[in-house]
Structure 1
């Protein structure tokens, strides 16, 4: 979905006059459908594959369960290798390819922005910064999880504990918390409401101090 959003930004900046023709309701529904259907279908089949793995141990060193952690508990190398190969294909399809398309689109956007006026650059960055920030947060968490899972057997126990804490906070907690902040503060109505709440809180604090 973040890659679909980068395509939306690309069309908005490079073809503003044709934006509503290209991003018509049918195209939007199609992109949303594909952006949800493909990952969900992959995840369901991946879950089925990992359910076939016989387990010898049942203790995970983290607060959530991912595929490679289940694979580490396996006592059958064949099933584990098949499932891991399928997961690697998923990483290529749903991480490497989207990241490549994302970087390519933003490189083209940056090259275009450098040729524009200061006001146009300001508007472009205001449009793209929230999406870029959130994508970077999710990407960093996902890549860290993937890389650390691959090198996990060679990592000391103390470092593994830090990894558990970092993954549980960064991968699960931070993106959902950052998302509404990044996109919400850009909304004029939300900014106005927050400013009203701030002024009201300051006014209440001043009255309390005066009365005290």
Structure 2
């Protein structure tokens, strides 16, 4: 019965056909992208944290989005970089579970963050006179708590689902651990797992529809007011772009799962990690460029005499 117990290690087979040159090239790009992601998100977090004028709900939620992006990329990049520089491509089962939790929380956290940000923008544009009474400090704290508690709940649920049955296979054709991969490696699956897995994806679909409906109402409200249109272009466009990028990244990752047999190994691997690599590096750039107060603070920092004298 040893072949139906939880293993000490899992083997990542997706890189087996990669030659050393391909590994070095992708390692260089991956390391550069990881460092850039850390610098951009950390810079935005520090700007919001140390600039009192930015201690408003919109920027607080943006700060949480950056923290979530850092958590997701840190759950993915370090292990992927090790895979690219080694030929064993093994990960301990415990590390796999931790990575799975981090990635599920990150993916869910993107939608909870963007949903809360959509609520904030809806109230700011559609009910501006009641904005400060609705978005009270207590309400902001409650929304921030929801941003993190719900993804953690989904993550624990996904891990419990993956651990329900022992594994019969130990080879992963993915560059990272996720609960669906572990489910496919299990000796058997049951209807309960299907129901819970369906709940996880339905919850993300609900957030998706919720954000779309919020922005639809915002756009309708902006048609009647020039002031609202200016607010939309200055504060909502970055959120909408970020939402579209996250949705497209998740869609590409899911489509790759169904088209894996028709894609090359490198193309399949690249598309599967878009959700983990693209939004975290693009989000801070979009917000840094489009949000006036953040853009002004960045320009002030770079124009500072201390920076110019370096």
The TM-score, its normalising length taken from structure 1, stands at 0.80
Deviations along 1:44-64, one digit per CA (max 9) or x if unpaired, are 122022112221211112211
Structure 1 residue matching 2:171: 3-state secondary structure: coil
Higher RCO (Cα < 8 Å, 6 or more apart)? 2
Partner-residue secondary structure (3-state), 1:77: coil
1:161-200 equivalences in 2 (<5 Å): 161-168=266-273, 170-185=274-289, 186=291, 187=294, 188-194=296-302
Q: How is 1:132-171 mapped onto 2 (pairs within 5 angstroms)?
A: 132-149=240-257, 151=258, 155-156=260-261, 158-159=263-264, 161-168=266-273, 170-171=274-275
Can you give the 5+ residue segments of structure 1 that lack an aligned partner in the other structure?
205-212
Q: Is the 8 A contact 1:3 1:101 kept in 2?
A: yes
Aligned counterparts of 1:96 and 1:57: Cα–Cα separation in 2: 31
| Richer in helix (by share) | 1
Match of 1:3 in 2: 115
> What count of residue pairs does the alignment treat as equivalent?
193
1:1-212 alignment, distance < 5 Å = 1-78=113-190, 81-93=191-203, 95-117=204-226, 120-149=228-257, 151=258, 155-156=260-261, 158-159=263-264, 161-168=266-273, 170-185=274-289, 186=291, 187=294, 188-194=296-302
Q: Is the 8 A contact 2:254 2:272 kept in 1?
A: no
Q: Give the RMSD, CA atoms, in angstroms.
A: 2.4
Rg larger for: 1
Query: Residues 61 and 164 of structure 1 are in contact (CA less than 8 Å); yes or no, is this contact kept in structure 2?
Result: no
Distance 1:89 1:148, change over 3 A: farther
Q: Secondary structure at the match of 1:56?
A: coil
Q: Distance in 2 between matches of 1:167 and 1:38?
A: 24
* Alpha-carbon spacing, 1:83–1:104, altered in 2? closer, same or farther (3 Å): same
What TM-score, normalized by structure 2, do the two folds share?
A: 0.56
* Distance of aligned partners of 1:84 and 1:144 in 2 relative to their CA distance in 1, 3 Å threshold: farther
